Amino acid sequence: MPHSFLTDGAEIYRQSFAIIRSEADLSRLDPDEETVVVRMIHAAGLVGLEAHVAFTPGAASAARAALQAGAPILCDVRMVSEAITRPRLPAGNRVICTLNDPQVPARAARLGTTRTAAAVDLWHDHLEGAVVAIGNAPTALFHLLNLLENPDCPRPAAIIGCPVGFVGAAESKAALMQTPPCPAITVHGRLGGSAITVAAINALAGERE
């Protein structure tokens, strides 16, 4: 006997977001933050994630304004850069991932670090006013924070730093929020990942859910 299931994509989305809003505690969030968190929950399939999401004051609004002004999006890995929904981007924003740049392996070896961290060095010319999206690599977030300790380093408009994992992820995100170098959004603890980070970008990029 054939399975019966909902086939209307728009209705699946509508019901999904309605369920999230009925079950999640979104009471502490402003409208821009709520839009981001609802999409993060949707990407993770995890009501309760909202308790772990943190914003510096005005971070969601700052990131949205930067995207509307044409800011590039700097991504730590291709899983993030490839999943950003281009038609949602408000200003044909450039999406940049330098991980596969041929300079990266030698730079990583010279620095004694990961390729994802070394790739952050290649963001320099794009970093001023950019929106940073780190969804995979704690080493990339740590390296970026170290670079931003230099007052002469270009400043991004916002950092969405949600690396996932068991080694360094929680620590890198705690460091981001302890002394944020710019407006920042994160998911505290081990939770995070590329899908959640992309969900935040997609939420900030467009008004429609």
188 catalytically annotated: no
Query: How many CB atoms neighbour CB 126 within 10 A?
Result: 18
- The angle subtended at Cα 82 by Cα 15 and Cα 205, nearest 5°, is 55
Q: Residue 138 forms beta bridges with which residues?
A: none
- Phi and psi at residue 75, to the nearest 5°: -120, 145
Per-residue tokens: 19: 């369920």
The DSSP annotation for 109-163 comes to HHHTS-HHHHHHGGGGGG-TT-EEEE-S-HHHHHHHHHHHTSTTSPPPSEEEE--
Q: How far is CA 65 from the centre of its chain?
A: 15
Strand order of the β-sheet with 131-134 is 53-55, 184-187, 158-161, 131-134, 73-75, 95-97
The residue annotated as part of the active site, out of 3, 42, 126, 143, is 42
Q: Helix 169-178 and helix 138-148: axis angle, to 10°?
A: 30
Active site residues: 42
